[in-house]
Amino acid sequence: MGILKGMRVVEGSAFVAIPLAGMTLAQMGADVIRFDRLEGGLDATRWPVTKDGRSLFWAGLNKGKRSIAIDMKHPRGREIITEIICAPGDDAGLFLTNLAVRGFLDYPTLSARRADLVMVSLLGDRHGRPAVDYTVNPSVGFPDATGPEGSTDPVAHVLPAWDCIAGNMAVTGLLAAERHRLRTSRGQLVEIALKDVAAAMLGNLGIIGEVAVNGVDRPKGGNALYGAYGQDFLCADGERVMVIGLTERQWHNLVKVTGTAEAMAALEAELGVSLAEEGQRWLHRARISAVLAPWFAARRVAEFADAFEAAGVTWSTFRSFARALREDPDFAPGEAALFTDLDQPGIGRYPVPGSPFGFSAAPREAPAPAPALGQHTEEILADVAGLPEGEIARLFDAGIVRGG
Amino acid sequence: MGILKGMRVVEGSAFVAIPLAGMTLAQMGADVIRFDRLEGGLDATRWPVTKDGRSLFWAGLNKGKRSIAIDMKHPRGREIITEIICAPGDDAGLFLTNLAVRGFLDYPTLSARRADLVMVSLLGDRHGRPAVDYTVNPSVGFPDATGPEGSTDPVAHVLPAWDCIAGNMAVTGLLAAERHRLRTSRGQLVEIALKDVAAAMLGNLGIIGEVAVNGVDRPKGGNALYGAYGQDFLCADGERVMVIGLTERQWHNLVKVTGTAEAMAALEAELGVSLAEEGQRWLHRARISAVLAPWFAARRVAEFADAFEAAGVTWSTFRSFARALREDPDFAPGEAALFTDLDQPGIGRYPVPGSPFGFSAAPREAPAPAPALGQHTEEILADVAGLPEGEIARLFDAGIVRGG
């Protein structure tokens, strides 16, 4: 049904980026096989966990994959993993990994088995040093620029943003290399380093130019939208809202709906600037916010929400994860919704997201649960590795593989 | 030279996500044509800007593209954009956009012109409401979970993470749909909503399970690594470092290199737990940090950096953007480096990143500058839209298009 139906991808991974990449492909219809050690990968018990120690994290990032559990210290186990990665098929021979691949799992070894292998390898840094989202982020400077104006305490992000970005880039790298293979019959190794992803983004967003050309090290700006206007305000009901005046139209809508056009005009006259210019809104954001703050402080969200929607204001409330899940219809399960109430074996029934992609040529599929560790060991050994029944039984008996 | 050589993509965009998507494709060798209004897109002057008002942001996110500037209020301008998007070519007919596409730019209209068009459209939310990174993020809950333990002030991220993720997803959507077209000759519309990207990630990372299954609304945890061990420490020289004990090996390395094995064993005995279990490290992180804090407080980074590297500790320093650029060799331009000192017309010479992808089947290309607005108008009208010289001259004379 999915847009990638027929593609087979093998994944040797742990944590966020590569599991996310494999899941993204699985949710587009690819057959994604994740292999793990007999005891499960490094992320088998990653928090959050249920009271029984089942990983909600693992369940979240491995939806719709098939799982094989195998002893990779055993030569026969390694041989079988190699066979699975290099198994024939025009739409197979695709391998995603963030494991430290040496020996049997490195590209020269694997490509000697299947010359047209496409292997995507995510590294910490380009030089082979370990790096994770939590170290890459402070090393490029974001925590120093995050948090209240005037504070000197660095604030790290909670979303593993670099992992999420790199995981999606791994998908891109795989699809681009597979496209190239289709035209040339040549496979290749695609390498991406988490640190490079972050360093490049610093350049892409203009931050390196700001430092190198303007000589400015961006200070903390609180929750303000950098470079134009966007600010958070406390309302009469204790709620906090974010309002945006990034484009001229957004700014106009915001001023109009709050009835502050006269006050803004007076401010423009006093300052001798036009607030229609985004840079002036940024430079004078404190004065603008002083005009808007009493407006919000005097009103409950319910008093202005409908007017904001009608006026096309770009805005949102701040809320915790639990409140978002409870209050926002976008998290509600239902037909044609992003979320489905799903039974995840060992965990229970809760709202689980499908793919955010809407492909008009393929129906939006409901999410599939994550497999139990080793749930598909037997069928993968038979169908993909092509092993006869007797040998599969012997592998189970010898403890080289395990089922789910 | 690039892995996508021969592909042509047309981009109608502004701000981060779709420009990033187009640039990612351009840096893999695709011919990416960005079209803009005569006065430039909504992001033409997006901050940061130079003292002359040139946008470092725009220069960062449009590298290696071709630019055409055209009056889209004029019927002939609209007609020409349609021709460019729908121009023939097996590897063309690919359109990326985050503009509010109605009328001449919507999928039904464009696909009537070229039936196998692949169009990727990024929306704010699925229901057509405006949403930007700055509003999506508070609406799903991250600012409430970010910042110092015990604080109640929400802290928004500075990296537009959702835009960066969605931009990379747009690339994936385009490549997946183009792959499907190659097999079926059918084009399609691919829709992605920024809000859905964030909502799905909340589920993927286990946060929705934590709320729905465990009934826990994750509190702020400062700069700690959630669910295992990772913490920031102040050193004797005033530097701050992040150290990671996510995996058992990382934890072992950290304890060993800081010589705290005995103290940790005493802590384990006192608490009656094994700190080899990641969850125990999380639950008792304050006690662990109390052991490690004096060690860091007594030492300058230079005293332990080499030992940390030799021991394979996963760690980094905190530093500002400017310090990262100044001190980190990964930002230094050079052969086979990620960065190149590049002349960006109108701005000057500064370090600019190439693509973080390393494709073994294609050489790593140096980054190309961003075009001036309209720099390629004439050649695009001739080569892509196929207009005769005389008509091109008339379009310039009539002010329907402009050059760079």
Residues A342-384 have pLDDT tens digits of 999 999 999 999 999 999 999 988 999 999 999 999 999 999 9
Which residues in chain A have Cβ-Cβ distances shorter than 8 Å to B312? Answer: 130
For every residue of B106-139, DSSP letters joined together read SHHHHHHHSTT-EEEEEESSTTS----HHHHHHH
Over range B13-32, report the average pLDDT.
98
B328 is catalytic: no
Please name the residues in contact with B287: beta carbons below 8 A apart, sequence gap of 6 or more. Answer: B267, B271
Which residues in chain A have Cβ-Cβ distances shorter than 8 Å to B232? Answer: 138, 154, 156
Q: Which one of the listed residues B36, B71, B133, B163 is annotated catalytic? A: B163
| A320/B158 Cβ within 8 A | no
B284 to chain A, closest Cα gap in Å: 14
- Amino acid A267 reads L
Only one residue has tokens 């793990």, namely A36
Other residues' Cβ atoms within 10 Å of the Cβ of residue B276: 12
Of B132, B314, B318, which has the smallest distance from its Cβ to A246's Cβ? Answer: B132
Give the closest residue to B146 by CA, choosing from A215, A292, A35, A142: A142
For chain B, give the percent of residues with pLDDT over 70: 100
Other residues' Cβ atoms within 10 Å of the Cβ of residue A233: 19
Give the closest residue to A394 by CA, choosing from A76, A89, A143, A32: A76
Which residues in chain B have Cβ-Cβ distances shorter than 8 Å to A281? Answer: none
Q: Give the whole-angstrom CA distance, residue B243 versus residue A125.
A: 16
- Encoding tokens for residue B53? 């008002």
- Amino acid B255 reads V
- Amino acid A242 reads M
**pLDDT tens-digit series, residues B184-196:** 999 999 999 999 9
Please name the residues in contact with B46: beta carbons below 8 A apart, sequence gap of 6 or more. Answer: A206, A227, A228, A278, B15, B55, B57, B58
Which residues in chain B have Cβ-Cβ distances shorter than 8 Å to A238? Answer: none
B57 to chain A, closest Cα gap in Å: 4
Please name the residues in contact with B154: beta carbons below 8 A apart, sequence gap of 6 or more. Answer: A223, A232, A240, A318, B138, B143, B144, B146, B147
Which residues in chain B have Cβ-Cβ distances shorter than 8 Å to A16? Answer: 205
- Do B93 and B116 contact (CB within 8 A), yes or no? yes
Up-side HSE of residue B139: CA atoms within 13 Å toward CB?
Answer: 25
Which residues in chain B have Cβ-Cβ distances shorter than 8 Å to A322? Answer: 141, 211, 217
Q: Give the whole-angstrom CA distance, residue B220 versus residue B359.
A: 40
DSSP at B260: -
Give the closest residue to A106 by CA, choosing from A83, A87, A82: A82
Give the closest residue to A362 by CA, choosing from B404, B214, B177, B330: B177
Of A153, A209, A352, which has the smallest distance from its Cβ to B56's Cβ? Answer: A209
Question: Which of B159, B281, B340 would best serve as a mutation to test chain A binding (most A beta carbons within 10 A)?
Answer: B159
User: What is the CATH topology of the domain spanning B229-317?
Assistant: formyl-coa transferase, domain 3 (3.30.1540)
Q: Give the whole-angstrom CA distance, residue A192 versus residue A202.
A: 16
Only one residue has tokens 């380093």, namely A193
Q: What average pLDDT is seen over chain B? A: 97
Residue B10 CA from chain centroid, whole number = 19
Only one residue has tokens 């990994």, namely A97
Which residues in chain B have Cβ-Cβ distances shorter than 8 Å to A130? Answer: 250, 312-314
What's the Cα-to-Cα distance from B393 to each of B7, B71, B80, B342, B390, rounded to whole Å?
A: 28, 15, 14, 33, 5
DSSP at A333: B
| B146/A47 Cβ within 8 A | no
Please name the residues in contact with B35: beta carbons below 8 A apart, sequence gap of 6 or more. Answer: B10, B11, B12, B67, B68, B69, B70, B81, B84
Q: Angle, to 10 degrees, between the axis of helix B261-271 and the axis of helix B285-297?
A: 160
| Average pLDDT per consecutive 10 residues, chain A (404 residues; last block may be shorter) | 95 98 98 98 98 97 98 97 98 96 92 98 95 98 97 97 98 98 97 98 98 97 98 98 97 98 98 98 98 98 98 97 97 91 96 97 93 98 98 98 96
Residue A255: predicted pLDDT: 98
The runs of H, that is alpha helices, within A185-337 are: 194-204, 207-212, 248-257, 261-271, 278-283, 285-297, 301-310, 321-327
Residue B337: predicted pLDDT: 92
Q: What average pLDDT is seen over chain A? A: 97
| B23/A338 Cβ within 8 A | no
Of A45, A57, A211, which has the smallest distance from its Cβ to B321's Cβ? Answer: A211
Question: Which of A24, A134, A146 would best serve as a mutation to test chain B binding (most B beta carbons within 10 A)?
Answer: A134
Which residues in chain A have Cβ-Cβ distances shorter than 8 Å to B158? Answer: 142, 145-146, 221, 226
Whether the upstream peptide bond of residue A48 has omega within 30° of 0, thus cis, is yes
Please name the residues in contact with B228: beta carbons below 8 A apart, sequence gap of 6 or more. Answer: A46, A47, B245, B246, B247, B251, B278, B279, B281, B282
Of B124, B309, B318, which has the smallest distance from its Cβ to A143's Cβ? Answer: B318
Over range B4-26, report the average pLDDT.
98
- Encoding tokens for residue B267? 């802590």
Give the closest residue to B59 by CA, choosing from A198, A314, A214: A214
Question: Counting one residue from A and one from B, how many pairs have CB atoms under 8 Å apart?
Answer: 496
Give the closest residue to B84 by CA, choosing from B10, B13, B32, B19: B10
Specify the domain boundaries for CATH 3.40.50.10540 within chain A.
8-201+337-402
What's the Cα-to-Cα distance from A27 to each of A38, A63, A368, rounded to whole Å?
A: 25, 8, 8
Which residues in chain B have Cβ-Cβ distances shorter than 8 Å to A191? Answer: 357-358, 360
**pLDDT tens-digit series, residues B198-218:** 999 999 999 999 999 999 999
| B172/A172 Cβ within 8 A | yes
| B173/A172 Cβ within 8 A | no
**pLDDT tens-digit series, residues B55-66:** 999 999 999 999
Type and span of the H or E element at B349? strand B348-353
Query: Sorting pLDDT into bands at 50, 70 and 90, what band is B336?
Result: confident
| A206/B60 Cβ within 8 A | yes
Q: Give the whole-angstrom CA distance, residue A173 versus residue A258.
A: 47
Residue B246: predicted pLDDT: 97
Count Cβ neighbours within 10 Å for each residue of B219-244 and write b for 16 or more, e otherwise: ebbbbbbbbbbbbbbebeeebbbbbb
Q: Give the whole-angstrom CA distance, residue A311 versus residue A309.
A: 5
- Residue B302 three-state SS: helix
Residue A68 CA from chain centroid, whole number = 24
B77's torsion region: left (phi>0), alpha (psi -120 to 50) or beta? Answer: alpha
> Distance between the two ends of chain A, CA-based, in angstroms?
26
Q: Give the whole-angstrom CA distance, residue A131 versus residue A125.
A: 6
Greatest pairwise CA separation for chain B in angstroms: 87
Of B48, B201, B356, which has the smallest distance from its Cβ to A193's Cβ? Answer: B356
DSSP at B367: P
Q: Which residues pair with B212 in a beta bridge?
A: none
Using CA coordinates, name the residue in chain B closest to A20: B204
Q: Degrees (nearest 5) of the Cα angle A271, A276, A281?
A: 60
Q: Give the whole-angstrom CA distance, residue B23 versus residue B9.
A: 10
Q: Give the whole-angstrom CA distance, residue B118 versus residue B185.
A: 11
Specify the domain boundaries for CATH 3.30.1540 within chain B.
229-317
Using CA coordinates, name the residue in chain A closest to B121: A358
Type and span of the H or E element at A33? strand A31-36
| A188/B361 Cβ within 8 A | yes
User: What is the CATH topology of the domain spanning B8-201+337-402?
Assistant: Rossmann fold (3.40.50)
| A321/B132 Cβ within 8 A | no
Of B159, B208, B361, which has the smallest distance from its Cβ to A350's Cβ? Answer: B208
B174 to chain A, closest Cα gap in Å: 9
Only one residue has tokens 């620029």, namely A145
B377 to chain A, closest Cα gap in Å: 24
- Given the DSSP bridges, would you call strands A118-123 and B358-359 parallel, antiparallel or unpaired? unpaired
Q: Which one of the listed residues A43, A71, A133, A163 is annotated catalytic? A: A163
| A172/B202 Cβ within 8 A | no
Residue A38 CA from chain centroid, whole number = 27
ipTM over 0.85: yes
Using CA coordinates, name the residue in chain A closest to B346: A213
- Encoding tokens for residue B310? 């030799």
Only one residue has tokens 């006690």, namely B287
Give the closest residue to A195 by CA, choosing from A142, A136, A135, A122: A136
- Amino acid B320 reads S
Residue A137 CA from chain centroid, whole number = 15
Question: Which of B95, B137, B213 would best serve as a mutation to test chain A binding (most A beta carbons within 10 A)?
Answer: B213
Compute and round to an integer the Cα radius of gyration of chain A.
26
